[in-house]
Every structure is written in C-alpha cells, then in structure tokens.
Amino acid sequence: MGILEVRDVNKNFGGLKALHNVNLDVQEGSVHAIIGPNGAGKSTLLNCFIGRLTPDTGSVMFNGSTLLGLKPHEINQAGVVRVFQTPEIFSELSLLENVMIPAFAKRDGAFKLNAFSDVARHGEIREKAMHMLEEVGLANDRDKTSSSMSRGDKRRLELAMCLVQDPVLLLLDEPTAGMSRADTNATIDLLKKIGGRGVTKIVIEHDMHVVFSLADRISVLAQGTVIVEDIPSKIKGNEKVQEAYLGGAHL
C-alpha cells in the first residue's frame, strides 16, 4: 500500500481524453518520477492531486483518505504541497518574509495579517522560516528581495517556502526548467538532501539526467495512459518508452 494510490483515473476535456485509466502507487519516502512527451497528461494528473481539477472517474487516496472533493487549501493542510514549474514568490518581499507567509498560512489555514497577533508565536514562525533558509543555503540573504536572484536561487527559495509547511508529499513540476547545468546539479543535490527528511516526492521532469539522478521509480505517460512503470535501470532500455517518449532514440 502506497502513501498515494491512484486508481482508474479518467479526465476528459470535451472530446479530448487527457487521462485514461491512470493507476499509480507512490511509496512513502520515495522519489517517484512521472515522465512523458508534451501533452501526455502529466500536469493534468498533478492538478487532480491538488484539487485544481476533479477526475471524471476514479479515485485518489492519500494516507488512506480520499483527496477528491477537497478544496486545494484542505489538501495542502493534509500535507500535499506543490512546487510549480515557474517559481511562485513575492518579488517585493524579503526572502525571510516569503518563507514566513506560507508558514502562517499552514498554521492558521490562511494568511491573516493581524497587528495584535501573539508576538511569541510570530517569533516561532520567524525562527522556523530562518531554519528553512539555512537548510537551502539562503540564510545570509534573508533580508534581500528576490528580484535579482538567479533561477536556481529562486527555486531554492520556493523549496524553503514549501518545506516550512511540513509537507508529507511534495509535488515538483519541472523543478529544473530553464536552469543552467550548474543550477540543475545544485537543485538535484538539494532535493536529495530533502529526501533525508523523509518527504515523499513526485517529480515531473523532462531532463533525464535529473530523473535518473533522483528517481526510485518511474511512471511513463503517453497519450494520457501509463504505458510502463518500473525502476530507472529498466526504464532506460524499455522499447515502449523509447518509442513513445523519444521516437525510438535511446534514453
């Protein structure tokens, strides 16, 4: 039994079958990669996990409870946190303030600015946010704004914003998109470090270097269907994967 169990999920947009009988088992503490060509249904599947979309049929179970019918903030409160393809940060705020906002939201269910809030509790949030910045290597820049940061550093900041929410399941949509190789490798190292916290991760990624560096198991989507799921070493030589994903070229 996995921490996330997806059974026979279907999602149509008019006459387009975006997802067709998708099944997925994600084991606790693992890194599970989802790969496939553009339009395969990868992001649609993630959106079904976080409440942005509702499958037409099927089930999505997280820690034994259904995610279907829950609102996005309720899914977040349950421990499912998504890192989007484009970093979603507040460019006019300091790095520390960026990390404190989701910490407040996680604690209170929403971010509410209250001038008369408990000062001690505010201090606890600040301390936790600082710890997350230290973990991703940005503590020395805590008072800077994000406007001049590299894409790699913005991703590190967003990871801190996610980790401060104490995720159980972290969903990463193209975490290294648009990065230099140096920033990509630094992000791989950081994600491996996060793995030491016991956080389960689902990674959507086109860069096979990233996938094979991180994944314990890989599911391959093609035309909305999982055509194969296996360990990375077997995915590399799978003919179905080579044909569907790379037109017959070797991974």
**How many Å is the maximal CA-CA distance in the chain?**
63
Higher pLDDT, residue 85 or 34: 34
Considering the domain boundaries, does residue 129 fall inside one? yes
**Is the pLDDT reported for residue 121 higher than 90?**
no
Q: Distance between CA atoms of 12 and 224, rounded to whole angstroms?
A: 10
More confident residue, 110 or 42: 42
Percentage, residues of the chain above pLDDT 90: 60
Mean pLDDT (whole number) for 94-119:
71
Return the CATH number at 110: 3.40.50.300
Q: Quick check: is 242 in a domain?
A: yes
Total domains present in the chain: 1
Domain assignment present for residue 251? The answer is: no
Q: How far apart are CA 24 and CA 46, in angstroms?
A: 12
**Residue 97 amino acid letter:** E
List the domain range (segments joined by +) for residue 214: 4-246
| Greatest mean pLDDT among 132-141, 177-186, 239-248 | 132-141
Average pLDDT of span 72-78: 90
Phi, psi of 103 (to 5 degrees): -65, -40
Strand partners, 33: 203, 218
- Is the CB of residue 33 less than 8 Å from the CB of residue 205? yes
Residue found under tokens 């693992």: 30
Q: Give the pLDDT confidence score for residue 83 in this predicted structure.
A: 84
How far does CA 35 lie from the centroid of its chain? 14
- Which candidate, 85, 81, 47, places its Cα nearest to that of 176? 85
Give 234-249 pLDDT, tens digit per residue. Answer: 998 888 887 776 554 4
